[in-house]
Chains A and B, each alone.
Chain A
Amino acid sequence: MKLKVADQLHDVGPHIRMNRTTKEIMQDVVIALIPAFLGSIYFFGIKALILVMTAVTTCVISEYIWQKLRKEPLTVSDWSAVVTGILLAFNVPATTPVWAVMVASVFAIIVAKQFFGGIGSNFANPALMGRALLLFLWPASISGYVSTYHAGADAVSSATVLGLYKSGSQISQFSKWDMFIGNIPGCIGETSKLLLLIGFAYLCYRRVVNISTTAAYILTVLLVTFIFSGEGLFKGDILVNLLSGGLILGACYMMTDYASVAPRVKVTLAVIAGLITAGIRLWGMLPEGVSYGILAANCLSGLVDNLIKPHIYGVNVKKSK
């Protein structure tokens, strides 16, 4: 079989195409993340701005240098590195050192993305891989959670609400409304559920993502934690689990990542990720389980895709009259 390449392909059909490009999709994701980005600056100050800018710049530059050195076609203008940078910064607390974010960004782009073939070929979410690297190598660098500027006092060290909830401590100082708008300690981009959901609504409106994966993930986590996280069965606090951690950020922007979640079985994978996340939250060492839950589902993506067979038109259909 001899296939036409590059220029020769100009006349092949279909002769009309939908006017949406990879770049537009990535730009839409960036637009969707802007409210939460502004929120992060509001809640955590200039540190949030510095971390996001550092991550984005490092991601874009490392992708550019890698492709230049490898003499690969430059895809750095497709904005995907920008998305990775923003999401990576969103997943660390405001006290994270700038160097740690830079290391994580280089790792996310070079190791997690380019080593596996670049855009579309990464087996796991690059931003979460960057965060996982920091968790392994320098756990202290990303565990300094602070309260927000608007919690009545200057930024002071504080455990996350989820951490307090898990250890059975008092969490009544945080109202559900504060959790919803983001006025709680946490990673810079994850705290404001309101702003994340506004962005997500935009992505759904633009049909960049479909709500089913996000809903399946969130509902699974909530169901399992509702059953097991309280004193006695079916007494868990749904709202704390929903609003206090990175669940919304993960469900809206990481679980919906294209490359690392096989599209046909994404709902199944979302349920798997939800079970693992809930399991970590309930019985694991860490209070939060979103990043590992999603990374685990990323690793199972190929397997699940193989196990669940698609229905091909006319295959295994009997002749009938």
Chain B
Amino acid sequence: MKKYFHGGIHPADGSDKLLSNQVPIRVYTPKSVEISMKQSPNGFSKAIVKPGDKVSKGDLIGVPANFSAANVHASVSGTVKDIILAKDNFNREYEIVVIESDKEEDMISNIPEREYEKKLVDLSSYSKEEIIGKMKEGGLIGMGGAGFPTHIKYETKEVINYILINGAECEPYLTCDHILMKEHGYAIINGVLLFVKAANAKKAYICIEDNKQDVAHELENIISGKNLPIEIVILPTRYPQGGERQLVEAVLRTEVPAGELPSSVGTIINNVGTAKAMADIVLGGVPVISRLVTVTGKVNTPCNYLVPIGTRYSELIEQSGGFTAEICRVVEGGPMTGNCLFIGNNPKDLKGSVAKNTSGLLVLEDLPKSESPCIRCGECERVCPAGLAPFKIDFAAIEGNINLCEKLYATECISCGCCSYVCPAKRELAYRITEAKNEIIRIRRERGGK
């Protein structure tokens, strides 16, 4: 039986992924890195080094400053050159640690042969507490994009039955998870087994969309006949298949109650990249200091890069041969939920660097757009995975009627962008609904605070 979630779209035809999923991984090690102390949308860490300090690869350089943050480690060996203060879109300040590498070193050439990359290793000596402790120590956060610290998920008081490993990679253009599953099957399976131990779960499902059958078969071969608590689930290719609520709906045939976390239905969801990093931390002794990043779209040579955390985006564009469109829109992450970093034609103006949750750097041609009146075709309502009526919430948001937005369940929006994608009037539905949702949450918090 095919496993479906409600709503969703087919935003691409597969050619977008072909740009980068047949090209071998390139390893790139920059001379200096800019490691941000804001590694996820709401996680702020505090630097514990100062300019002039010598650091080695893997040294702790930042500690969490708030609930959603995790440890940050040096991704290259060298000297701390500078600590820059930066501000995000919401005007929140954070530090960026600039480290200059002191030796010409390749990211992977001097790494010893790793046993867990080649076979399933014996994990019986690891206890639940030990694994969760290492997650925290190694700075493990959701590598799929949300960037929430993994150890917090596992410290839940709920009973966890299932782990869903998200290998759907439903965003168009991105292929880093696909490549990761292709290259690091054993490490991922070892990581998943660690997750199962950490949660005392009954079973883990590795969820893969049917446009990546090749890796599904490879992973199947690794686990077959070994009586492991792992099942590979093939899902139809449909965006937003990788949304955690949608995965729960499609795989476990149940829904996560509104306002609750997936743990309320006994489930934890992790990305395949997180599973690989888990294995690296526990079995390889390396914290999260590198990742695969898809650089694709309007660049000369689209490719997946293995880079240290903190690699400047401008260097990645340069490595890929520069822009190929007149005016480019550079997006951090996937095209549906990613964040527009910059619009222009000179890659040197591109700010920012690879964070632990950076899945891709996407360059698109910047096209003009303008909104026209809603014609009430109902497409947005049909594709909304949450079952909302986006056009109604949009009207309410424009009127500033927050109460109506709340009645229309704007809070249940998952910001997947399907509504804006299909809208023939090109209305910015997802943007305004997300703003309304944030406003409602802010008001609720204020009320709760009184």
Contacts and interface: CB of A to CB of B under 8 A. Distances in A.
Contact of A14 (B255, B421, B435, B439): B421
Nearest to A320: B265
A159 B159 CA distance: 75
A312 B339 contact: no
A78 B255 CA distance: 41
A295 B331 CA distance: 47
A310 B387 CA distance: 7
Contacts of B431: 4, 9, 12-13
B79 interface: no
A200 to B, nearest CB: 17
A75 interface: yes
Contacts of B257: 314, 317-319
A94 B117 CA distance: 80
B402 A120 contact: no
Interface stretch (A21-29, A50-58, A226-234): A21-29
B420 interface: yes
B335 A118 contact: no
A13 B331 contact: yes
Interface residues of B, number: 69
B36 to A, nearest CB: 20
Interface of A: 1, 3-4, 6, 9-18, 20-22, 24-25, 75, 78, 80, 118-121, 258-259, 262-264, 266, 310-315, 317-321
Contacts of B60: none
B386 A14 contact: no
Interface stretch (B67-75, B149-157, B288-296, B372-380): B372-380
A258 B380 CA distance: 13
A262 B163 CA distance: 40
A75 B424 contact: no
Given A120-B376, A320-B254, 20 more contacts: A1-B402, A3-B435, A12-B430, A18-B422, A18-B423, A21-B424, A22-B424, A25-B424, A119-B375, A121-B376, A258-B378, A259-B375, A262-B376, A313-B256, A314-B255, A314-B258, A314-B412, A318-B257, A319-B257, A320-B266
9 contacts: A13-B340, A14-B337, A15-B329, A22-B375, A25-B375, A120-B425, A312-B409, A320-B265, A321-B161
Contacts of B210: none
A11 B339 CA distance: 9
Contacts of B337: 13-14
Contacts of A16: 11-12, 172, 335-336, 364, 421
Contacts of A3: 397-398, 432, 435
Interface in B389-437: 389, 397-398, 400, 402, 409, 412, 417, 420-426, 428, 430-432, 435-436
A120 B377 CA distance: 8
Contacts of B428: 9, 12
B249 interface: yes
A318 B387 CA distance: 17
Given A12-B428, A24-B424, A258 B381 contact: no
Given A25-B375, A313-B6, A313-B255, A15 B338 contact: yes
Contact of B343 (A11, A24, A120, A314): A11
Contacts of A1: 397, 400, 402, 435-436, 439
B375 A317 contact: no
Contacts of A119: 373, 375
A34 to B, nearest CB: 21
A317 B372 contact: no
Contact of B255 (A13, A18, A25, A317): A317
Nearest to B9: A18
Contacts of A18: 9, 11, 421-424
Contacts of A6: 370-371
B343 A313 contact: no
Interface string B350-371: 0000000000001010000111
A314 to B, nearest CB: 4
A313 B249 contact: yes
Contacts of B379: 263
Contacts of A10: 343, 369
B377 A78 contact: no
Among B266, B389, B430, which residue has the most Cβ atoms of chain A within 10 A? B389
B260 interface: yes
B245 A314 contact: yes
B435 A315 contact: no
Given A13-B331, A17-B420, A22-B424, A317 B258 contact: yes
Contacts of A9: 371, 428, 431
Contact of B340 (A12, A25, A263, A315): A12
A13 B421 CA distance: 9
A321 B260 CA distance: 13
Nearest to B12: A16
B374 A17 contact: no
B385 interface: yes
